[in-house]
Amino acid sequence: MRKFSSYGAVDRELHYYVPRQELINGAIQELKGDNPNKGGHYITVWAPRQTGKTWIMREVFLTLAQEKDFDVVILSLQFLSEVTDSNRVAQLIAQELTKNLNLEKLSIERLEDFHRLFERGTLTKPLILILDEFDALDQTVIAGLVAVFRHIYNTRQNQVHKSTAEKSYLLHSIALIGVRAVLGIENLRGSPFNTQRSVPIPNLTCDEVTELFNSYQQESGQSIEPEVVQRLWAEFQGQPGLTCWFGELLTETYNQNLEQPILHPYFEGIYAKALNLLPNNNILNIISKAKQPPYKPFILELFQTKKKVNFLYDDPIINFLYMNGVVDIEEVGNSEIYVKFPCPYIQKRLFNYFARELYQEMDGLYGPFEDLSDTITDHNINIRQLLVRYEQYLQANREMILKEAPRRKNDLRVYEAVFYFHFYLYLVSFLRNYEAQIYPEFPTGNGQIDLLIRYAGQLFGLELKSFADQRSYRKALEQAAKYAQELSVTEIWLVLFIESVDEKNRQLFETDYFENARGVTVHPLFVQTGKG
């Protein structure tokens, strides 16, 4: 029986896979060209790590290798990642190509001679070249190789009256595969050929994820509750590496009995392990990018709830984070484009990482003999009183809490997310001995942070917002009511963080909001973050 594979290229005979034939056919068309006799395209193939770039291009290679009119070579350049001498890299790539094409021994000692490898006479028929892990090379090496390929490309373009086999160079087409280096802003010369000839690899669609797990059910005979597959899609948004990793956890690592169906409670248990216990190279790579000094402030700002952040491809910080799978694009209508996190799972992992980087769980939140019945009993939690306690704790310990907190450069204010991190860990600490479950949820990927508390068979929803103005407040009430309906609860708490609020406005804006259409009550409550 096949298995899910979360690392490396998929093997059709060993692993579950989605054909993605449309993507493969599109890449083949690019490399062969609209009119193959004229030549193919020089393209870049890019996507964040573990999204299936290598597998798709290997499928492209296997198909093109059956063509009699072309030689086709695929090379991984990962082994050259530590070589910084451009001449040495050119020499080693030439050796690999010479070996793959069974060419007569050709001495390429310098980058300046690298173009000779692709001359008509050296090659006997047009070559389609696929270079994987191209972005693993040193930036200087990349710039040097790209200059050679650009020269070959331009020379061929100028020979318009010759067929592809008659041109001075027989490099019919090339695919440079990587995360960002070829297309990225760091390359001062820009894209090597034509950025419109780039081939992005998108995540799996909801239908493709369903197809993937249908294959498992048909082969194994073990059924999976449809709600499980839908939840898996919602949490991972079709990110191939993470989707298949979780498929491996569900169907293999923790799957004790193939006779039993995979149900939603089982999913929740595995998901909790994936969120808090299990390492994943993809997530470790994303965190390593997000925590770097140039990018960390942007990520912290992205957790704010006042407004969405516009997506600008030319912004080097957004570009880097996008190309490395830390953020993604949200399109609203025809003209609005915003930054969002790629999926709830990644956002939760980043939230947990930065929260615990700043704060550990807290002790001494109440005395050993203190009566907490006004806040929590064996059957209920008084959320209003819990927030009163939190605000009192924040006010009493504000200087210590904010002493090491990161601040925005433009106004030296503490990032809004800092208070969300601290409040989350306060709840975790306060309820630690009551066997309550507290976890963050991010329904939209930006602009909305919710904390859910499961206790005594009840679900308590807390939506966190920074109070900006009355219009935003009214929208927040409506949004909270909608989310309560999605949670199938009849009441929800809208927690409004604000630097200062007087008693008059507290009474005015802490009035319960009841929405008849949804049958939901929203309880708005302030948390003052400035000195009282």
456 within some domain: yes
| Beta strand spans in 150-239 (E) | 171-178, 198-200
How far, in Å, CA of 77 to CA of 57, rounded? 14
If one compares 488 and 186, the residue with the highest pLDDT of the two is: 488
374 shares its domain with 421: yes
If one compares 307 and 356, the residue with the highest pLDDT of the two is: 356
Q: Going edge to edge, which strands form the sheet with 127-132?
A: 71-76, 127-132, 171-178, 42-46, 198-200
156, 177, 200 — which closes off a domain? 200
- Give residue 184's pLDDT: 45
Confidence of residue 157 (pLDDT cuts 50, 70, 90): very high
45 shares its domain with 169: yes
Which tens digit of pLDDT belongs to each residue from 354-371?
A: 999 999 889 889 999 999
| Total domains, the chain | 3
| Beta strand spans in 16-59 (E) | 42-46
200, 235, 259 — which closes off a domain? 200
Q: Which range (69-83, 98-112, 241-255) has the least confidence? A: 98-112
- Across all residues in the chain, what is the average pLDDT? 93
- Asked if 523 and 492 count as a contact pair (C-beta separation under 8 A), the reply is yes
Q: Is the pLDDT of residue 188 over 60?
A: no
Mean pLDDT confidence for 439-461: 90
474 shares its domain with 501: yes
- Asked if 27 and 217 count as a contact pair (C-beta separation under 8 A), the reply is no
If one compares 194 and 213, the residue with the highest pLDDT of the two is: 213
187 shares its domain with 244: no
Confidence of residue 283 (pLDDT cuts 50, 70, 90): very high
- Give residue 179's pLDDT: 66
424 shares its domain with 477: yes
164 within some domain: yes
Which tens digit of pLDDT belongs to each residue from 474-491?
A: 999 999 999 999 999 999
Confidence of residue 180 (pLDDT cuts 50, 70, 90): low
12 within some domain: no
243, 259, 278 — which closes off a domain? 278
13 within some domain: no
Mean pLDDT confidence for 154-159: 95
pTM of the model: 0.90
Q: The domain that contains 180 carries what CATH number?
A: 3.40.50.300
7 within some domain: no
Helix 21-32 × helix 53-64 angle, to 10°:
60
Could you count the other beta carbons within 10 Å of the beta carbon of residue 92?
16
232 shares its domain with 263: yes
Confidence of residue 197 (pLDDT cuts 50, 70, 90): confident
266 shares its domain with 367: no
57 shares its domain with 114: yes
311 shares its domain with 271: no
172 shares its domain with 228: no
Q: Which residue carries 């929803």 as its tokens?
A: 461
Show the domain range for 174: 21-200
Could you count the other beta carbons within 10 Å of the beta carbon of residue 47?
21
Mean pLDDT confidence for 175-204: 64
58 within some domain: yes
Percent of the chain scoring above 70 in pLDDT? 96
Which tens digit of pLDDT belongs to each residue from 318-354?
A: 988 998 899 999 998 888 999 999 999 999 999 999 9
Q: Is the pLDDT of residue 195 over 50?
A: no
**SS3 of 36, please?**
coil
Stretch (H or E) spanning 462:
strand 458-466
Q: Which range (53-57, 71-75, 494-498) has the least confidence? A: 53-57
440 shares its domain with 485: yes
Could you count the other beta carbons within 10 Å of the beta carbon of residue 50?
22
Q: Is the pLDDT of residue 32 over 50?
A: yes
73 within some domain: yes
Residue 375: Cβ-neighbour burial (10 angstroms; 0-12, 13-18, 19+): buried
187 within some domain: yes
Confidence of residue 183 (pLDDT cuts 50, 70, 90): very low
188 shares its domain with 252: no
**SS3 of 476, please?**
helix
